Amino acid sequence: MAIYQGPLFDADNHYYEAHDAFIRHVPRRMRSRCVEWVKVEGGRRYQVVGGKIDRSGNPTFNPISRPGVLREYFNGNPRGMTSVELIRSSLEPMPPEYMDRDARIARMDEQGLEGAWLFPTLGVLYEEPLKKDVEALCTTFSAFNQWLDEDWGLTYKDRIFTSPYVTLADVDWACAQLEWAFERDARIVVMRPSAVFTRNGPRNPGHTDFDPFWARANEAGITVVTHIGATRHDSNGYDTKNIDLLSLGSRPSVTNFHRSRNINDFLASLVFDRLFERFPNLRVASVENGAEFLGDLLRSFDRTKERLRGYFKDDPADSFREHVWINPFWEDDIAEVIEHMGADRVILGSDWPHMEGLEHPRDILEEIQGIASADQQKILYGNVSALNERRPL
């Protein structure tokens, strides 16, 4: 079968945040409740988030791991190297295209990318440590989104499309951020796949409390992306010590299943709360959450419909396939995902320049050999291009 030669629209690219991304626009009186920098023993710098030092990563990003260095780890680990060994062997000074939009477009030209969605690196991690202080949470992400617009733009040269971060913890704030994003021609907004922790306790993301936000997104026809992020998924008492977001510890852990649990529960709750029946113009894209959960979720929709006859106006599995787009991991069985969803509802991304993604965005072509040419065009370009255009009522 011929190798795809058409244009690529990458559904999962990332930038690395500037050192003042979470500080530049935060009022000084609020910084101790939001994000600050601190220097610890040995001179290393970390960020303090919600009053606690976050030692889980490298927030200075210098040096930084090269793109795709963990691909062999996730692809069977043929050399038997640990993730730490692979990462340490790949460190390099920060390339300009990771933090500068014009340098990024020049690199996209080299990579053969017509367009790309860009998501945060640290930004998807900070709602969790701030969730008990809703005022600080909203202040942090108002400031973060303002930084994002200044340094990257929400739509830049019709090539780079960044995603303002929204939380439903304060629905009035979320609606205001949505209007702010519309004024700046945003094509997507992003939230984490999690229950929403409000001042009145946790709520499903499809709870009617949040209908003002979903109604406005429905009216404007913007795509809402749910991207992997830090969550406090219940480990049921199992040991999760020294395991990070990517579950790259020195031994296996039940946290390896957290990513699929998070997105499974988030998307299931939207269907179970009949969000798409109330707002039939909504489009939700799941990005960097993988797709291993998909078969079981679709079967659960069928069983639930049988057991709760009359509850759903629309068939829940059909509704899911109409309103949700899935971005599988490159190591997932992409042909199987197409079987579950249909080629019109699958989007592909490289996770570039992150270490667990692909070294080069076009490496994704290696993972779709055997898929029909027409379907390749859809999942590599057409579907994301359509989601990138607002579809107002």
Kindly report the CATH number assigned to the domain that includes residue 326.
3.20.20.140
DSSP-derived pairing of the beta strands 283-287 and 324-326: parallel
Give 367-371 contacts, CB < 8 A, sequence gap 24+. 367/330, 367/331, 367/334, 368/4, 368/334, 369/1, 370/1, 370/335, 371/334, 371/335, 371/338
Tokens 């999690």 belong to 194
Domain with 361 in it: 8-32+100-387
Beta bridge partners of 324: 284
Q: How do residues 121-164 score in pLDDT, each as one tens digit? A: 999 999 999 999 999 999 999 999 999 999 999 999 999 999 99
| CA-to-CA dists, residue 330 to 247, 288, 316, 356, 367, angstroms | 17, 10, 27, 10, 7
Q: How many residues does the chain have?
A: 393
Average pLDDT of span 47-66: 92
CA distance 214 to 208: 9
CA distance 368 to 371: 6
Average pLDDT of span 192-221: 98
CA distance 329 to 331: 5
**Per-residue confidence at 76, pLDDT binned at 50, 70, 90?**
confident
Work out the angle between the directed axes of helices 316-323 and 258-272 (0-180°, nearest 10). Answer: 110
Residue 367: name the closest of 389, 342, 336, 345 by CA.
336
Decide if 171 is inside a domain.
Answer: yes
Decide if 39 is inside a domain.
Answer: no
Q: Which helix (H) or strand (E) holds 209?
A: none
C-alpha torsion sign, points 180, 186, 187, 190: negative
CA distance 133 to 224: 24
- Assess whether pLDDT exceeds 60 at residue 242: no
pTM over cut 0.85: yes
Decide if 14 is inside a domain.
Answer: yes
Task: State the total domains in the chain.
Answer: 1
- Assess whether pLDDT exceeds 60 at residue 243: no
For residue 331, give the amino acid letter: E
- Assess whether pLDDT exceeds 70 at residue 247: no
Beta bridge partners of 109: none
Tokens 């299943």 belong to 257
**Per-residue confidence at 274, pLDDT binned at 50, 70, 90?**
very high
- Assess whether pLDDT exceeds 90 at residue 388: yes
Angle at 7 between CA 286 and CA 190, to 5 degrees: 25
Decide if 156 is inside a domain.
Answer: yes
- Assess whether pLDDT exceeds 70 at residue 316: yes
Alpha helices in the chain (DSSP H): 71-74, 83-88, 101-111, 127-130, 134-151, 171-183, 211-220, 258-272, 275-278, 294-307, 316-323, 334-341, 373-377, 383-387
Tokens 């009035």 belong to 172
Tokens 């860009």 belong to 118
Average pLDDT of span 47-55: 94
**Per-residue confidence at 56, pLDDT binned at 50, 70, 90?**
confident
Residue 365: name the closest of 350, 343, 384 by CA.
350
Decide if 91 is inside a domain.
Answer: no
pLDDT at position 186, please? Answer: 98
Decide if 189 is inside a domain.
Answer: yes
Decide if 43 is inside a domain.
Answer: no
Residues sharing a CB contact under 8 Å with residue 345, sequence separation 6 or more, in sequence order: 321, 324, 325, 326, 383
Work out the angle between the directed axes of helices 334-341 and 294-307 (0-180°, nearest 10). Answer: 20
Decide if 235 is inside a domain.
Answer: yes
Tokens 């629905």 belong to 171
